[in-house]
């Protein structure tokens, strides 16, 4: 299965469901966002194979 990059997985609050579903299908969920890793919900942490924090997405 392929990799997929999810941009800003913390907005809106329910967006974590997309990387979760992708991972359940066997894909690799790569996430990039502005929030520090420790601020992510436990659901999003489990859904993300990798998370990369950036200073700005704008």
- The tally of domains found in the chain comes to 1
Collect all residues with Cβ–Cβ distance below 8 Å to 52 and sequence separation of at least 6: 30, 31, 32, 33
Q: Give the model's pLDDT for residue 51.
A: 98
pTM for this predicted structure? 0.86
Q: Give the model's pLDDT for residue 1.
A: 76
**Residue 58 forms part of a structural domain:** no
pLDDT mean values, one per 10 residues, the chain (58 residues): 93 92 96 96 95 94
Q: Give the model's pLDDT for residue 3.
A: 96
Q: Give the model's pLDDT for residue 49.
A: 96
**Residue 11 forms part of a structural domain:** yes
**Residue 16 forms part of a structural domain:** yes
Range of the domain at 47: 3-53
Q: Give the model's pLDDT for residue 58.
A: 85
Distance CA 11, CA 13 (A): 5
Q: Give the model's pLDDT for residue 52.
A: 98
């Amino acid at each position: 299965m392929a990799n997929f990059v999810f941009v800003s997985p913390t907005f809106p609050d329910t967006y974590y469901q997309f990387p979760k579903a992708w991972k359940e299908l066997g894909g690799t969920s790569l996430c990039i966002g502005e929030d520090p890793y420790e601020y992510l919900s436990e659901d999003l942490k489990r859904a993300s194979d990798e998370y990369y924090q950036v200073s700005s997405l704008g």
